[in-house]
Amino acid sequence: MAVNSNSYYQTYINTGEGQVVILLHGIFGNVHIWKPVVEALRPSYRVVIPRIPLSDLPLEDANVKHIAHVLHEFVEHHELKNVILVGHAVGGQLALMYTHLYPGNVKKLVLVGSAGLIERAPLPGSEPLDLQILQDEFEQAYYFKGHLPDKVAEDLCEVADDTSKHAAIEKIARSSRQYEVSTFLGKIDHPVLLVWGLHDPVSPPESALHFNDLLSNSEIRFIENCGHVPMVEKPDQFVTHLLSFLKPSSGSAWHSKKH
């Protein structure tokens, strides 16, 4: 994977050629959770993973609405058009907000265990973080324990040791809970694929069903024996569903639902 940087302040992943697919991780995610997806997509697609500066944001900007504008600045600066957004957790909520704000620049959406409707994970508190407790909580998001990628664990250490990063993460998490997407989901008519772990303890399967009810042009793919991070836990199944949805022919077969 190529890592690119230029006068724009973000470093980002940019690999492959063709239709642009932007991958958006959640609060504690990073580029490493997308590795199987990037490997599967880059022979046929241009895959871009922006570095969204979640834990590095100043407190006054640590909210999901501001992050949506940061994403737009990135897209505009790199002249990306008609993009496909794939968002996990808060990254899914971010993808939805971006699509609502800039619908003409989005072709399709993929939501993976998305935030924005129902969430069961405890909000981080303002007290100092205990790394072992934090790691244990994140392990609980997986159906089979021991899936937590090493680089994700390293990032957890960094947040636990830095009070300013912890404060930014806490504020973003709270803003995510406060900013439900249900008010505008009915206005989004883009094709949407919902991919959910059937045993997701963070954004439970009923959340996917609510998304499906509120979106006019969506379908769900549940993955068995899978928790909150299907691209890590069940990468082969995740990639199969994703590639099927991304095929150009799938757009014409995607039927809008009538409410």
Residue 246 has pLDDT above 60, yes or no: yes
Q: What total of structural domains would you count in the chain?
A: 1
Domain limits at 242? Answer: 3-247
Among 201, 220, 87, 93, residue whose Cα is nearest residue 144: 201
Cα angle for residues 67, 10, 1 (degrees, 5° grid): 115
Residue 98 has pLDDT above 90, yes or no: yes
47 vs 5, which has greater pLDDT?
A: 47
177 vs 141, which has greater pLDDT?
A: 141
What is the value of pTM for the model shown?
0.83
| Residue 254 lies inside a defined structural domain of this protein | no
Using 50, 70 and 90 to split pLDDT, how confident is the model at 164? low
| Residue 257 lies inside a defined structural domain of this protein | no
| Residue 259 lies inside a defined structural domain of this protein | no
3-state secondary structure of 13: strand
| Residue 124 lies inside a defined structural domain of this protein | yes
| Residue 84 lies inside a defined structural domain of this protein | yes
Mean pLDDT (the chain, rounded): 81
Contact 195, 238 (CB under 8 A): yes
| Residue 253 lies inside a defined structural domain of this protein | no
| Residue 252 lies inside a defined structural domain of this protein | no
- Six token digits for residue 132: 């072992």
CA–CA distance, 86 with 122 (Å, rounded to integer): 24
Across 232-259, b (16+ Cβ under 10 Å) vs e yields bbbbebbbebbeebbeeeeeeebeeeee
| Residue 161 lies inside a defined structural domain of this protein | yes
In this structure, what CATH number is given to the domain that contains residue 165? 3.40.50.1820
Strands 3-4 and 12-15: antiparallel
3-state secondary structure of 57: coil
36 vs 121, which has greater pLDDT?
A: 36
**24-41 pLDDT, tens digit each:** 988 766 788 899 999 999
